[in-house]
Protein backbone atom coordinates (compact mmCIF):
# COMPACT_ATOMS: atom_id res chain seq x y z
CA UNK A 1 0.00 0.00 0.00
CA UNK A 2 1.37 3.45 -0.91
CA UNK A 3 0.68 6.65 1.03
CA UNK A 4 1.44 10.11 -0.28
CA UNK A 5 0.46 12.11 2.78
CA UNK A 6 0.60 11.76 6.53
CA UNK A 7 -1.76 13.32 9.05
CA UNK A 8 -0.45 14.58 12.38
CA UNK A 9 -2.46 14.67 15.60
CA UNK A 10 -3.52 17.92 17.25
CA UNK A 11 -1.25 17.04 20.21
CA UNK A 12 1.83 16.75 17.97
CA UNK A 13 0.95 19.90 16.01
CA UNK A 14 0.55 21.89 19.24
CA UNK A 15 3.90 20.58 20.50
CA UNK A 16 5.66 21.50 17.23
CA UNK A 17 3.99 24.93 17.22
CA UNK A 18 5.19 25.57 20.78
CA UNK A 19 8.75 24.62 19.84
CA UNK A 20 8.61 26.92 16.80
CA UNK A 21 7.26 29.71 19.00
CA UNK A 22 10.15 29.23 21.45
CA UNK A 23 12.63 29.43 18.57
CA UNK A 24 11.10 32.55 17.01
CA UNK A 25 10.73 34.30 20.39
CA UNK A 26 14.44 33.97 21.07
CA UNK A 27 16.69 36.10 18.88
CA UNK A 28 14.80 36.77 15.65
CA UNK A 29 14.13 39.99 13.78
CA UNK A 30 11.50 40.94 11.20
CA UNK A 31 13.01 42.77 8.24
CA UNK A 32 11.71 44.18 4.96
CA UNK A 33 13.50 43.38 1.71
CA UNK A 34 13.99 45.85 -1.12
CA UNK A 35 15.38 43.69 -3.90
CA UNK A 36 13.04 42.39 -6.60
CA UNK A 37 13.53 38.65 -6.32
CA UNK A 38 11.37 35.66 -5.50
CA UNK A 39 12.63 33.91 -2.35
CA UNK A 40 12.60 30.13 -2.19
CA UNK A 41 13.18 27.68 0.67
CA UNK A 42 16.85 27.61 -0.48
CA UNK A 43 17.25 31.41 -0.11
CA UNK A 44 19.95 32.55 2.31
CA UNK A 45 20.39 35.79 4.23
CA UNK A 46 22.79 37.21 1.61
CA UNK A 47 20.01 36.94 -1.01
CA UNK A 48 17.95 39.61 0.76
CA UNK A 49 18.67 43.34 0.48
CA UNK A 50 17.25 45.01 3.57
CA UNK A 51 15.13 48.13 3.15
CA UNK A 52 16.72 51.48 3.96
CA UNK A 53 13.93 54.04 3.51
CA UNK A 54 13.88 56.90 6.01
CA UNK A 55 12.05 55.82 9.17
CA UNK A 56 12.67 52.10 8.63
CA UNK A 57 14.12 49.91 11.32
CA UNK A 58 14.04 46.13 11.75
CA UNK A 59 11.69 44.77 14.43
CA UNK A 60 13.06 42.53 17.21
CA UNK A 61 10.60 39.67 17.74
CA UNK A 62 11.70 38.77 21.27
CA UNK A 63 8.65 37.23 23.01
CA UNK A 64 6.22 38.58 20.39
CA UNK A 65 4.80 35.25 19.18
CA UNK A 66 1.73 34.15 21.12
CA UNK A 67 1.07 30.62 22.40
CA UNK A 68 -0.22 28.17 19.79
CA UNK A 69 -3.89 28.58 18.95
CA UNK A 70 -5.94 25.82 17.39
CA UNK A 71 -7.61 27.27 14.30
CA UNK A 72 -9.46 23.99 13.78
CA UNK A 73 -8.57 20.32 14.01
CA UNK A 74 -5.32 19.85 12.10
CA UNK A 75 -4.27 23.53 12.06
CA UNK A 76 -2.34 25.44 14.76
CA UNK A 77 -1.11 29.01 14.49
CA UNK A 78 1.48 31.07 16.37
CA UNK A 79 0.70 34.70 15.63
CA UNK A 80 2.77 37.78 16.30
CA UNK A 81 1.19 41.24 16.51
CA UNK A 82 1.38 43.47 13.47
CA UNK A 83 4.02 46.12 13.11
CA UNK A 84 3.56 49.37 11.20
CA UNK A 85 6.32 50.60 8.90
CA UNK A 86 6.27 54.32 8.08
CA UNK A 87 8.44 56.29 5.68
CA UNK A 88 9.21 59.67 7.22
CA UNK A 89 10.91 61.26 4.20
CA UNK A 90 13.94 60.87 1.99
CA UNK A 91 14.05 59.30 -1.45
CA UNK A 92 11.37 56.71 -2.30
CA UNK A 93 12.19 53.02 -2.11
CA UNK A 94 10.24 50.06 -3.46
CA UNK A 95 9.93 47.11 -1.08
CA UNK A 96 8.97 43.59 -2.08
CA UNK A 97 8.45 41.50 1.04
CA UNK A 98 9.26 40.59 4.61
CA UNK A 99 11.54 38.01 6.21
CA UNK A 100 12.34 36.70 9.66
CA UNK A 101 15.97 36.04 10.47
CA UNK A 102 18.18 35.14 13.41
CA UNK A 103 21.10 37.08 11.91
CA UNK A 104 22.55 33.91 10.39
CA UNK A 105 19.66 32.14 8.66
CA UNK A 106 16.36 33.17 7.11
CA UNK A 107 13.57 31.35 8.96
CA UNK A 108 10.46 32.64 7.15
CA UNK A 109 9.69 35.00 4.31
CA UNK A 110 6.80 36.31 2.29
CA UNK A 111 6.87 38.27 -0.94
CA UNK A 112 4.13 40.89 -1.06
CA UNK A 113 1.37 40.35 -3.63
CA UNK A 114 2.54 43.61 -5.24
CA UNK A 115 5.53 45.89 -4.54
CA UNK A 116 5.03 48.81 -2.16
CA UNK A 117 6.59 52.19 -2.94
CA UNK A 118 7.69 53.82 0.30
CA UNK A 119 7.82 57.58 0.01
CA UNK A 120 7.03 60.32 2.52
CA UNK A 121 4.15 59.24 4.81
CA UNK A 122 3.69 55.85 3.12
CA UNK A 123 2.67 53.25 5.67
CA UNK A 124 1.87 49.54 5.81
CA UNK A 125 1.53 46.87 8.47
CA UNK A 126 2.97 43.36 8.56
CA UNK A 127 2.35 40.47 10.93
CA UNK A 128 3.58 36.90 10.91
CA UNK A 129 0.94 34.21 11.43
CA UNK A 130 2.64 30.89 10.65
CA UNK A 131 0.33 27.87 10.65
CA UNK A 132 1.27 24.25 11.14
CA UNK A 133 -0.94 21.91 9.18
CA UNK A 134 -1.81 18.29 9.82
CA UNK A 135 -1.24 17.14 6.25
CA UNK A 136 2.34 16.62 5.08
CA UNK A 137 2.98 15.72 1.47
CA UNK A 138 5.83 13.41 0.58
CA UNK A 139 7.96 13.57 -2.52
CA UNK A 140 8.53 9.85 -2.23
CA UNK A 141 5.69 7.73 -0.98
CA UNK A 142 6.11 5.36 1.96
CA UNK A 143 5.88 1.67 1.28
CA UNK A 144 3.79 -0.11 3.92
CA UNK A 145 3.78 -3.91 3.60
CA UNK A 146 0.43 -5.65 3.72
CA UNK A 147 -0.15 -7.32 7.08
pLDDT tens column, 91-142: 999 999 999 999 999 999 999 999 999 999 999 999 888 888 876 544 443 3
Whole-number average pLDDT of the chain: 87
Residue 64 has pLDDT above 60, yes or no: yes
pTM of full prediction above 0.85: no
**Structure confidence at residue 3 (pLDDT):** 52
Average pLDDT, integer, range 61-90: 93
Angle formed at CA 109 by CA 55 and CA 44, multiple of 5 degrees = 100
Name residues whose C-beta falls within 8 Å of residue 84's C-beta, 6 or more positions apart in sequence.
123, 124, 125
Query: What SS3 class is residue 36?
Result: coil
Average pLDDT, integer, range 1-13: 71
Average pLDDT, integer, range 29-39: 96
Amino acid sequence: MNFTSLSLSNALLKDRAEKLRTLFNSDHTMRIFANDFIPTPASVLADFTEASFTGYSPVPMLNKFKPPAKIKDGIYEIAAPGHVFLCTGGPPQTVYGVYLSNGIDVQMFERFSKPIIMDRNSVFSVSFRPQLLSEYEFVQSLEIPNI
